[in-house]
Structure 1
């Protein structure tokens, strides 16, 4: 794992403030092995934290202001802490989108805890989580900032509470209608395991993946096609799910089973039905993936990964030509399973491959992109690792 972003965050802080930070905190991106768009439908997901992390260097200040800087932009944003309530959510568009994540976390922490402990801070952010790749660079920022502020302000919140803070920031301060999967995986990640998360109860069960013992690698194929959760198709998909739930008379699509789908098809228009069908069958696939891992091992989950991709491509319609090309080429080159991961409309696909076939699959996907006239993908392996932490 590279330590460069940690050093970059510290160096940016020194450049910004002129002194060393109080400390550096970090939080990981995540790969979702299976369970897409099920989180905001109170369903099941199965993500794991990865080695790519966002680092936040923090120092306190005495004037009641919060200043944020990032290696991704020369822009520095500074506001008074007592202005955050006026800015979020009503005037969030006045703040640069990148700065809404850390400022939104500060706002959500103060709002949720009702604490007078909030003191002014400077924050310098650096990351090696690919942005827009579906690896949850946003939750990595939220987790790092929430952990840093929780400790600095002496709030003593547990990891689930900090994940909720991140979701509040993303939903209300940023304006992205996401669920809580990303924040929970960034906070709760553990080495060599994934998190089987019930997004209604927030009950989390850490499940051994067994990739290393089986000689398997998870390959991320970043298409380079950027997406944004705050705009467009993501919100439309969520609205379709809510319409489906209302029409079927349930609190959330979590409450619809596969056996209920014939009735749903009678009541819903074609598009809404297909959106509902994806969520219902995806929940079932998550549960089946966990069961299969425990009973048969990771070599047996390939068909479930492929079925998930087909459902996202055809029913939820959130794939993209580049994602389909990556999945098809990986499978043709011998991958055990492959699917797009993340919110869709771009980002990355994943492939479960044997250690010996990593180069073969990487070369095949790269060649398929070249043949299609697409820009070269960024392809790399990821390892399940720990969640948010203080680094020093």
Structure 2
């Protein structure tokens, strides 16, 4: 299915404020580039993951949805040899000039231009596949209302919107969702962040009023479906505890990738498994690969009952085989894997910088299998739901269990995030959990339409005004999102500007 091209803003559930955003983008573009016309707009949304965090890069299914908040770009196509990117927020995102002959990322001076260069790298590769070798110049003005560092994939939304803009500017009008997902999945790897693909896939493939089941094996697919409860909704709250994924990657995100890779290799050795593919982001076995090899076949992801049985057994395997719950040293890992310290460093520590005292292999592997099990239990619950209250209680319980493990096993929550969850549960949420990378960012809350106002009031009075006494009404509006599932990436023509 090709990326949609639309002629107006009616796809937004709330058109008026977005109309104002587009007006602001146009005004800023005209100020930045007087006399130049806007050729088209590119857009891609953020996402919220309802359950299934830190398992996508181990190839287990996840359950996100695209949200209304997005990144938009006004795009001018020209015949120069440079791309100029600007932003309506010029203070935090100043004007940058990128020459088409040099898309090299400057790792020493991290700026928003590096993320655009990630998009340029993958777009160039795709365009070459399509026979396009000479790129057009571009002038762009961006606007985004996906909170930066808020756990709602602002960086993925930016990279996808940028990639889409570059490809469209160079004459490709039949770009498919599958191809846009495929090429953007690795985009952030170029700035050293080992993302697994959920963020990009949800941003590209989102559909109005539908959740997405994203599967990674046997191939990357996004299956849209509706929840069985009509008045169910999700409130998303930015904790305002900011964790920049790029800056904290060595102790947080990338370290989890490394720990899970080492855990997978260690399980392969302890279980005596053969022909396990080295398919992780760092070239090790993956925890999904370990499960498939143990049971002698690749679970296709469709039969939840089979997956539940296998994941339950894998949790037991972790308990039996990864016995050091305090944390493994490098020396202990080398002894268990029968490799030298030099081989260990080359295999696990050479691709991306990581910092650690001990490696929590037991905790990370157990989290992956338990969280993956919860995704399948949620799917089974959705398919068998008959009673509204029972469904909400059971779904909420799975989300709350996920939060406990994100805190205790994956250690991607913290005291303040836990407090925000507790406040929500006391004010009308059935289930509350950290969403996305964690270590700050946002919490997603399961509730119903009739409980939304009380939930939001409780969060404002018992979290925001306590933690941030000087917070303004405008800042609260930005921090609290009540979003239905929304449409994914699209191109918007300039037709609506002429009406």
Which residues of 2 match residues 137-152 of structure 1 at below 5 A? 137-152=154-169
Structure 2 SS opposite 1:154: coil
Judging changes above 3 Å, is the alpha-carbon distance between structure 1 residues 188 and 370 closer, same or farther for their aligned structure 2 residues?
A: closer
Structure 2 SS opposite 1:69: strand
Could you report, residue by residue, the CA deviation over 1:54-107 in whole angstroms, capped at 9, with x for unpaired residues?
1011111222111111223342111211111xx14xx4434x421122222112
Instruction: Tell me the CA shift for residue 371 of structure 1.
Output: 8.0
Judging changes above 3 Å, is the alpha-carbon distance between structure 1 residues 363 and 44 closer, same or farther for their aligned structure 2 residues?
A: same
Q: Which residue of 2 aligns with 1:133?
A: 150
| Distance across 2 between alignment mates of 1:103 and 1:12 | 22
**Correspondent of 2:226 among 181, 193, 208:** 208
**Correspondent of 1:34 among 51, 54, 57:** 51
Q: Any conservation in 1 of the 2:364–2:409 contact (CA below 8 Å)?
A: yes
| Distance across 2 between alignment mates of 1:373 and 1:79 | 40
Q: Which residue of 1 aligns with 2:265?
A: 246
**Correspondent of 2:116 among 102, 126, 145:** 102
Bigger shift: residues 161-170 or 338-347: 161-170
Q: Any conservation in 1 of the 2:423–2:458 contact (CA below 8 Å)?
A: yes
Q: Which residue of 1 aligns with 2:480?
A: 379
Q: Which residue of 1 aligns with 2:419?
A: 325
Q: Which residue of 2 aligns with 1:187?
A: 204
Structure with bigger strand share is 1
Could you report, residue by residue, the CA deviation over 1:117-166 in whole angstroms, capped at 9, with x for unpaired residues?
42111121101111111111111112222222222212343112212332
TM-score w.r.t. length of structure 2: 0.73
Q: Which residue of 2 aligns with 1:292?
A: 381
Bigger shift: residues 110-119 or 45-54: 110-119
Structure 1 SS opposite 2:62: strand
Q: Any conservation in 1 of the 2:423–2:463 contact (CA below 8 Å)?
A: no
Higher CA-based Rg: 2
Q: Any conservation in 1 of the 2:127–2:167 contact (CA below 8 Å)?
A: no
- Name structure 1 gaps, 5 residues minimum: none
Structure 1 SS opposite 2:171: coil
**Correspondent of 2:252 among 222, 233, 239:** 233
| Distance across 2 between alignment mates of 1:122 and 1:165 | 22
- Name structure 2 gaps, 5 residues minimum: 1-13, 269-275, 277-284, 292-310, 326-359, 494-499
CA RMSD of aligned residues (A): 1.9
Which residues of 2 match residues 313-352 of structure 1 at below 5 A? 313-352=407-446
Q: Any conservation in 2 of the 1:322–1:374 contact (CA below 8 Å)?
A: no
Bigger shift: residues 30-39 or 158-167: 158-167
Q: How many residues align?
A: 384
TM-score w.r.t. length of structure 1: 0.92
Judging changes above 3 Å, is the alpha-carbon distance between structure 1 residues 196 and 361 closer, same or farther for their aligned structure 2 residues?
A: same
Q: Which residue of 2 aligns with 1:8?
A: 24
Q: Any conservation in 1 of the 2:228–2:385 contact (CA below 8 Å)?
A: no
